[in-house]
Amino acid sequence: MAATDSRSDIWPALPYAEWKETCAALHMWTQIVGKVRLALSPWTNHSWHVTLYLTARGLTTSPIPHGSDVFEIRFDFVDHTLRILKNDGSGRDLKLKPQSVAQFYERMMSILDELDLPIQINTTPNEIVDAIPFERDQTHRAYDPEYANRFWRLLLQSDRVFKLFRSRFCGKCSPVHFFWGSFDLAVTRFSGRPAPLHPGGIPHLPDAITREAYSQEVSSLGFWPGNDAIPQAIFYSYAYPEPQGFAQSAVKPDAASYHSQLKEFILPYDLVRAAPSPAEMLLDFAQSAYDAASNLGNWDRAALEEKKPDLRSSAQRS
């Protein structure tokens, strides 16, 4: 696929109704891959050890330890291949094409066995109401390469803007990473103070994990492709705990609104991609939602956002 600078290629259309079956299957495939990383990686605060990351061709687990071996699993949404690469130079490919979740699971686990990387995972999907164990899921089987590629390209641009937003903050902050449970790209800032106990209640996710994830005050920015209940792609920003008055805040642009069900400010992706400068609109949304959360929550902004020296220029001169 040749690269172009047209708006439709940089910020592609992603109407939920057109790709919802592919979205559902791809969600399950990323959960299978993510659970492999979860099973083998040392636990890191707020479940940062389970996430996937954007690459120039798709998503990756980053290196995963397996005893003294190391391997990596990469989704390639250009060639539409799942690649499993091992540090001894061996590797295998699994074609991304219409196939059931059960078939994808069986084939991927067989490849890991062939590479002497045996692993067992919990096969019940996380954060899904009517979860079907992977080995029994014959329902989700669609794969439209065009829409999978569009989804990745959208994530790629979001990742670029989120990293710029992240650079403005010098307090504790997550990487920009993709959560396969909720199927969203996110970056989270922390105030440095503990938060009240989270109520939990997320389907097929132990409350202890949710409560550890939200054990500190946060302001989080993300992108989510939607679901049947909310069938549109959105950018979102929320605060936990939500400070009094947050829902009534004036968040930019005017098209942003507070969603009482999600308890988040949302900005429809279609409005962002149609803007004269999508990145500028997205940055304005991110900053103004964070401003509302941090000001109303009495964060120590002077300490968390102190000006940084121009280290890039210094590094280039060295």
pLDDT tens profile 164-174:
999 999 999 99
Domain's final residue, options 87, 105, 136: 136
Neighbours of 208 (CB within 10 A): 9
- The pLDDT of residue 1 is above 50: no
Residue-number span of the structural domain to which 206 is assigned: 157-304
The strand pair at 216-224 and 53-54 is best described as unpaired
In the chain, what is the straight-line distance between the N-terminal and C-terminal CA atoms, in Å? 39
67 and 129 together in one domain: yes
- The pLDDT of residue 307 is above 80: no
Tell me whether residue 10 is in a domain.
no
- Taking residues 191-211, what's their average pLDDT? 97
- The pLDDT of residue 238 is above 80: yes
pLDDT of residue 164: 97
pLDDT of residue 2: 40
Cβ distance 222 to 186 under 8 Å? yes
Taking the whole predicted model, whether its pTM rises above 0.85 is answered as yes
Domain's final residue, options 107, 136, 165: 136
CB-based burial of residue 197 (10 Å sphere; 0-12 exposed, 13-18 middle, 19+ buried)? exposed
- The pLDDT of residue 3 is above 50: no
188/304 Cα distance (integer angstroms): 13
44 and 166 together in one domain: no
105 and 169 together in one domain: no
- Taking residues 150-175, what's their average pLDDT? 97
167 and 283 together in one domain: yes
pLDDT of residue 231: 98
Domain's final residue, options 136, 170, 199: 136
* Token pair listed for 172: 């504790």
Tell me whether residue 309 is in a domain.
no
Cβ distance 158 to 267 under 8 Å? no
Tell me: the pLDDT tens digits for 253-290? 999 999 999 999 999 999 999 999 999 999 999 999 99
CB-based burial of residue 80 (10 Å sphere; 0-12 exposed, 13-18 middle, 19+ buried)? middle
62 and 200 together in one domain: no
Q: C-alpha angle with apex 306: 303 to 307, nearest 5 degrees?
A: 175
Tell me whether residue 149 is in a domain.
no
- The pLDDT of residue 310 is above 70: no
121 and 52 together in one domain: yes
- Taking residues 309-318, what's their average pLDDT? 61
Tell me whether residue 53 is in a domain.
yes
281 and 182 together in one domain: yes
Tell me whether residue 194 is in a domain.
yes
Q: What average pLDDT does the chain have?
A: 95
- The pLDDT of residue 182 is above 50: yes
Tell me whether residue 1 is in a domain.
no
Tell me: the pLDDT tens digits for 93-127? 999 999 999 999 999 999 999 999 999 999 999 99
pLDDT of residue 200: 97
pLDDT band at 314 (very low <50, low <70, confident <90, very high): low
123 and 172 together in one domain: no
- How long is the chain? 318
Tell me whether residue 76 is in a domain.
yes
pLDDT of residue 315: 61
80 and 161 together in one domain: no
164 and 50 together in one domain: no
Tell me: the pLDDT tens digits for 290-303? 999 999 999 999 99
Tell me whether residue 80 is in a domain.
yes
122 and 193 together in one domain: no
* Number of independent structural domains in the chain: 2
93/32 Cα distance (integer angstroms): 16
CB-based contacts of 285, cutoff 8 Å, min separation 6? 235, 237, 251, 252, 253, 256, 265, 267
pLDDT band at 210 (very low <50, low <70, confident <90, very high): very high
CB-based contacts of 119, cutoff 8 Å, min separation 6? 36, 39, 40, 66, 109, 112
pLDDT of residue 217: 98
pLDDT band at 9 (very low <50, low <70, confident <90, very high): confident
32/120 Cα distance (integer angstroms): 11
237 and 194 together in one domain: yes
pLDDT of residue 4: 47
